[in-house]
Amino acid sequence: MRISDRINKLRLFIFMPILVLSFVGCAHSVHQAHVSDFEPYAPIESGEIVKGYAEQFVIFGFVGQTDYVNQAYANLMQACGDGRITGITTQMSTSLGFFSWTNKALMQGLCISKQ
């Protein structure tokens, strides 16, 4: 066997498992993870971590609005009643698919109750 053939076989041996893994797994892309200010300063014990999540299914990219972001924002506030929310992390990601995908917005923060 020629050296070049051996290299080619080796290449396939390395990349085939990665290809198979790619085929069986669902792929995602994390676009950003933003952290807000911590205002007021408060230890984690002084409140509870609340979450706001929303997603949007898109086919072929045809979608006229991005209201899912506002929905996640509303969900976050709903989870904290009349408290203050500090240290908010905002993660935007997309689960990729076949000519379609799902955009996701996840917001988490520390909810500090009024009393």
User: Closest distance between other proteins and the C-beta of residue 13, in Å?
Assistant: 10
Sign of the CA dihedral with 33 first, then 36, 41, and 45 last: negative
List 3, 6, 58, 75, residue binding other proteins (CB under 8 A): 58
User: Closest distance between other proteins and the C-beta of residue 91, in Å?
Assistant: 6
Name the maximum alpha-carbon separation found in the chain: 78
* 110 is an interface residue for other proteins by CB under 8 A: yes
* 114 is an interface residue for other proteins by CB under 8 A: yes
Spatial CA neighbour of 94 closest among 2, 10, 27, 28? 28
List 33, 54, 55, 71, residue binding other proteins (CB under 8 A): 33
List 2, 3, 62, 71, residue binding other proteins (CB under 8 A): 62
Amino acid at the residue 49: I
* 25 is an interface residue for other proteins by CB under 8 A: yes
CB atoms within 10 A of CB 47: 19
